[in-house]
Amino acid sequence: MSREWKIKAVLVIITAAVMAIGGFQLYSHRHYMTPIIAGPGVTKATKLSEFFKGLKGTKADTNVFFLEGKEEGGKILIIANTHSNEPAAILTALVFLENAVVDKGTLIIIPQFNNSGGRNTKPGDGYPLYFEIPTEWGNKKFRMGNRNASPLDQWPDPDVYIHYPDRQLLSYLDVRNTNRTWPGRPNGPLMEQVTYGAMQIMRQEKVDIAIDIHGAETMFPVTNCIVAPEKAMRIATMTSLTVKAREGFDNHVEPSPQGFRGLSHREIGDYSDALPFLLEAPTPFLDQPTGPKSVDFLLDGKDPFLVKLSKKRKLFVPYDETGWPMDKRVGQHCSVILEIIRQYSKKFPNKQLKIRNIPRYAEVVKNGVGHYFHNPNETDKKDIYYN
Amino acid sequence: MNIKNLKKWLGSFIFIGGLLFIFFSPGMAGTEIPKTKLPVLITSAGQSPDVMTINIVAEEAEIKYDYCDVPTAELLGAGVGLADKEPGPGFHVEINSDLDKFPKGTPYKTIIFAIGASLKGMGASGLTVESEISRLKELIDYCKKNNIFIIAAHVGGTSKRGAPGSDNERMIDTVVPFSDYIIVTKDSDNDGRFSKIAEEKGIPLTQIDYALDLVDIFKQIFQ
């Protein structure tokens, strides 16, 4: 073999090795299952495909849990990981799923709404594939997903995504973004089918409140807030004023724009009787001018470049060397959800919801979110589901 | 301990307790809260969304109010019901007054200005900073001539403040010195501007920690 062929052979072997190692990592990530535990309040576990059969057998199908109280009351749907790179959402949903006890009304939880996005990553941004939350019984490991569904599950992308039914022109990427494909349709692209499935839950179950949990950049004005349309504005405002006065954290209200289509806080309100709320917690990891996208940064939200930008008043939230830790984000979400429920129950006493055993902001910050996760090794197998 | 000493001790205890209550009573600081009467119109000075906060807080306090974001002096003079004006683009009206107690046309006794400038809000109503100020001046003139009690409320904090001469400060200049009562959140008054105007003009002022504290204030004002 000549020298030239030897070099070519070595290069081919190196390329094949890189592809094999990288491919194996991505394959493992896509198929990794996080055990999630149905807590004492769970009365029914089902799949999104129960509400729209077209999702059955696809990677877009996902777990749906019902926590039904003994007394009838209002119904609330919590949607998490619409964007799987905003993981405070799934952590909050699991705090509710593993701990909530519902005395009155019904709580429905979809912990991994964009299941395909949860099995996708963003290698160009150097995303970690996993992150771990410390608990009293060891670390709980989660997949770190991406904003959009995987092209392995929905392909090809159009040049421009034409929103259904308003025909607004959106970015081509938004065809895989489950916060642009609302209200969806049964014969649309897969992600429109996902949002359609959720709309079917809301219509069939007559859901009163729909909460979509997110995270947003500190450099983006719509951060640290509750986004609500006109019909949910009163409850959102009272929630914002109350958490500020009683629990000491800011969470302002942003109106849902009528002219920007496809978002949960707009379409759920327009196409169902539910009052929608989209919660945004500051997520420094999502900002662009930062250091490496490490797991530590994802969890503690500390970044020296953002500190400098904060000093130049370029951020939309107060930010210093203490960052914006995950516990704070999850704590905010827990308190805001509980307060929305309280305000709704006050306004509509015939549709009250009574949910207990959920920590508020200060408790989550003090104990850490991992404190609220149960050990799968000490849990009855029938109560363990895989996400 | 004999009875005389006990009385002395109790007296001191009540006095110190009273002082502590005054200094540390939660939420509010400032002068005695004045009383005023319904019907009330809530409006904006500067068209920021803070007026929605005031509306929602009034609703929470179970105050039945009318609302118009851009009333003119003529519309204010039409009294409760605001002459049945229909809402339209850039013009919002809500009639929530108790029409049994205050039939349409009953003159307003109180007006609440939610102060805060928003170019977006003014633009949506076809206003400029100048035309908004001129509208506010006409409204205030009307209120003064017709004994309508003016409440100036600023709950937007530092984000609704600015350098001297900025839009927010001009709204404050237009309304606050002519008001009969000022309510501000502590962060809105962190430079003491509202306190200074209140002192100079002899206007009662209440400083609150949070906008939510307005619920109690509104309940007391309209007792």
Judged by CB atoms closer than 8 Å, whether chains meet at A233 and B52 is answered as yes
> In this model, does residue B10 exceed pLDDT 80?
no
Amino acid at B8: K
| C-alpha distance from A235 to closest chain B C-alpha (Å) | 9
| C-alpha distance from A236 to closest chain B C-alpha (Å) | 10
Token duo for residue B223: 């007792």
Judged by CB atoms closer than 8 Å, whether chains meet at A238 and B60 is answered as yes
Q: Is the sign of the CA dihedral B187, B188, B191, B194 positive or negative?
A: negative
Q: Name the residue facing A244 among B49, B57, B210 (closest C-beta).
A: B210
Which of chain A's residues have a Cβ under 8 Å away from the Cβ of B210?
241, 244-245
Judged by CB atoms closer than 8 Å, whether chains meet at B52 and A237 is answered as yes
Judged by CB atoms closer than 8 Å, whether chains meet at A245 and B210 is answered as yes
With an 8 Å Cβ cutoff, is B59 touching chain A?
yes
For residue B19, the model assigns a pLDDT of 47
Instruction: Tell me how far apart the alpha carbons of residues A60 and A116 are, in angstroms, rounded to a whole number.
Output: 5
Token duo for residue B4: 């005389």
Residue A63: strand pairing partners: A47
Token duo for residue A330: 């999850």
With an 8 Å Cβ cutoff, is A1 touching chain B?
no
Nearest CA in chain B to A317: B159
Which residue segments constitute the domains of chain A, with CATH numbers given?
32-386 (3.40.630.10)
Residue A377, phi-psi category: left (phi > 0), alpha (psi -120 to 50), beta (remainder): alpha
Token duo for residue A364: 């989550």
| C-alpha distance from B55 to closest chain A C-alpha (Å) | 9
Judged by CB atoms closer than 8 Å, whether chains meet at A238 and B210 is answered as no
Instruction: Tell me how far apart the alpha carbons of residues A75 and A69 are, in angstroms, rounded to a whole number.
Output: 10
For residue B89, the model assigns a pLDDT of 85
With an 8 Å Cβ cutoff, is B63 touching chain A?
no
Please give the ipTM for the structure prediction.
0.71
Which of chain A's residues have a Cβ under 8 Å away from the Cβ of B121?
none
| C-alpha distance from B121 to closest chain A C-alpha (Å) | 13
Judged by CB atoms closer than 8 Å, whether chains meet at B57 and A244 is answered as no
Q: Chain A to chain B, count of Cβ pairs less than 8 Å apart?
A: 25
| C-alpha distance from A84 to closest chain B C-alpha (Å) | 32
For residue B162, the model assigns a pLDDT of 84
Question: What is the rounded average pLDDT for all residues in chain B?
Answer: 89
> In this model, does residue B20 exceed pLDDT 60?
no
For residue A133, the model assigns a pLDDT of 98
With an 8 Å Cβ cutoff, is A263 touching chain B?
no
Local confidence pLDDT in tens for the 387 residues of chain A = 789 999 999 999 999 999 999 999 999 999 999 999 999 999 999 999 999 999 999 999 999 999 999 999 999 999 999 999 999 999 999 999 999 999 999 999 999 999 999 999 998 999 999 999 999 999 999 999 999 999 999 999 999 999 999 999 999 999 999 999 999 999 999 999 999 999 999 999 999 999 999 999 999 989 999 999 999 999 999 999 999 999 999 999 988 988 999 999 999 999 999 999 999 999 999 999 999 999 999 999 999 999 999 999 899 899 999 999 999 999 999 999 999 999 999 999 999 999 999 999 999 999 999 999 999 999 999 999 998
Whether the Cβ atoms of residue A100 and residue A199 lie closer than 8 Å to each other? no
With an 8 Å Cβ cutoff, is B212 touching chain A?
yes
Token duo for residue B42: 């809530």
CATH number for B31-221 (one of 1.10.3470, 3.40.50, 1.10.260, 3.30.9): it is: 3.40.50
Which of chain A's residues have a Cβ under 8 Å away from the Cβ of B209?
245
Q: Is the sign of the CA dihedral A41, A45, A47, A53 positive or negative?
A: negative
- What is the residue-wise DSSP string for A155-187? -PPPSSEE-TTT--EE-GGGGG-TTTSTT--TT
Structural domain spans, chain B = 1-29, 31-221
Q: Name the residue facing A245 among B49, B52, B212 (closest C-beta).
A: B212
State chain B's maximal CA–CA distance in angstroms: 76
Best of B186, B210, B213 to disrupt the A interface by mutation (most A CBs within 10 Å)?
B210
